Amino acid sequence: MSNKTITLSRRRFLQAGAALGGAYLLPGMMNSVWAAGSDKPEQTTVKVGFIPLTDCASVVMAAVKGFDKKYGISIVPSKEASWAAVRDKMVSGELDAAHVLYGLVYGLEMGIAGKQQSMANLMTLNNNGQAISLSMDLAKQGVTDAESLKKLVASKAPGSFTFAHTFPTGTHAMWLYYWLAQAGINPFTDVRTVVVPPPQMVMNMRIGNMHGFCVGEPWNQRAISDGVGFTAATSQSIWPDHPEKILGTRRTWVEQNPNTARALVAAILEASRWIDASDDNRRETANVLAGRAYLNTKADYLNGRMLGQYDNGIGKKWQDDHAMHFFREGEVTFPWLSDGMWFLTQHRRWGLLDSDPDYLAVAKRINRIDIYQQAATAVGNISIPAAPMRTSTLMDGSTWNGSDPAAYAASFAINKR
């Protein structure tokens, strides 16, 4: 499958709906589609959890810029302490939805990230923009990349080095494991891995609790600014334009509040498009996010990498071609089925799943393309992919397109199956 997208008019969009999941979208039937003649949101206030990370931007800006009011809702961003807290509050219903790790939602659906819960992914919030940071202590020992890290790890007893990620089934665990394994380091036998909430990463590295971590921004930049660590790899160097955070919720919430779900996606789509529209908008977003209510940090820690300006902290600077994006004409935000399936393949690879699930069926259950399509139509002028799968090439040269997920999951030499 290719990444080619097509921009659909309102009428052509409705006609195309059947190809991506149902004959419920028919020309001239907009009113009957949404709540039997009314598209009024069932809830006027929507509480959306977030973790203090740069990639919560579209959720925050949808509220700050008033895009939510346009669709008849008020988004209330709720700052949370950890991904486990987001999980628990989302499952209990204390949060209506959340800025959340892709793999956390899939892990809940499969019963491997907590008690099984039927989940929904309403849209992707961003691509790219995470990183793996290593301590300056490792840099002093000659470690600058995965290959030099491999040599040092091999020279010590297994488990001598500790690395942190943010949640067992989450994106950062998968990026860290993939990067280590590609260098020949088994993340389960050669090193020790631990879970640390994003805002606590830099402090824990400073006091020597771990030698490296994988997390979202601005915490990798903060490690550099504090002289604690350096960027050994960006997540986009592992998988260019990879999916990262999503707008997650419980499936029952969507079933009970379909109009609210559509309004929520529409508002965040507007914010996503606004952020990506200009560097000035990105700077404004960074200034807002730096505030006490959100990340409570310096805007300088956010600005550079939001603009794609990278400095790894040990002498290399570059303009990244695959920096964090929030919209990119709808290519970012669309809930690609193949994206969700990829996380399942990695959960299988690392023994989190005991057997191969029906990868496509699970992705179709979770990724609510129907809600996304309706929201995109409400917003207007958003490109809709011609198919729900996309093709990607990862750092090891492997191609992922969702065509044979079981074989893909079994293809890795280093695994924990």
Tens-digit pLDDT profile for residues 119-168: 999 999 999 999 999 999 999 999 999 999 999 999 999 999 999 999 99
Query: What is the model's pLDDT at position 19?
Result: 35
Q: Quick one: average pLDDT of 335-362?
A: 98
Q: Are 176 and 187 in contact (CB under 8 A)?
A: yes
Q: Which helix (H) or strand (E) holds 245?
A: strand 245-250
Tokens 């570059």 -> residue: 318
Bridge partners, 383 (sequence order): 7
- Dist CA 293 CA 331 (whole Å): 30
Q: Per-residue pLDDT for 279 more than 90?
A: yes
**Confidence grade of residue 36 (pLDDT, cut at 50, 70, 90):** very low
**Cis peptide bond prior to 218, omega within 30° of 0:** yes
Q: Per-residue pLDDT for 58 more than 70?
A: yes
- DSSP annotation of 243 reads B
C-alpha torsion sign, points 208, 352, 247, 239: positive
Q: Among residues 257, 215, 219, which one has the least CA distance to residue 48?
A: 257
Q: Per-residue pLDDT for 313 more than 90?
A: yes
71 token code pair: 């669709």
Bridge partners, 46 (sequence order): 75
Strand segments (E) across 4-151: 5-7, 45-50, 74-79, 97-101, 119-124, 130-135
State pLDDT tens for residues 225-275.
999 999 999 999 999 999 999 999 999 999 999 999 999 999 999 999 999
pTM of the entire predicted model: 0.92
Q: Quick one: average pLDDT of 87-116?
A: 98
Q: Quick one: average pLDDT of 201-219?
A: 98
Q: Among residues 125, 184, 115, 188, which one has the least CA distance to residue 154?
A: 184
- Dist CA 137 CA 28 (whole Å): 65
**Confidence grade of residue 338 (pLDDT, cut at 50, 70, 90):** very high
Q: Is 103 left (phi over 0), alpha (psi -120 to 50) or beta?
A: alpha
State pLDDT tens for residues 388-404.
999 999 999 999 999 99
Q: Which residue has the higher pLDDT, 331 or 27?
A: 331
Strand segments (E) across 88-244: 97-101, 119-124, 130-135, 162-165, 192-195, 212-216, 229-234
Average pLDDT, the chain: 92
Q: How many CB atoms lie within 10 A of CB 54?
A: 27
- Dist CA 345 CA 94 (whole Å): 31
Bridge partners, 328 (sequence order): none
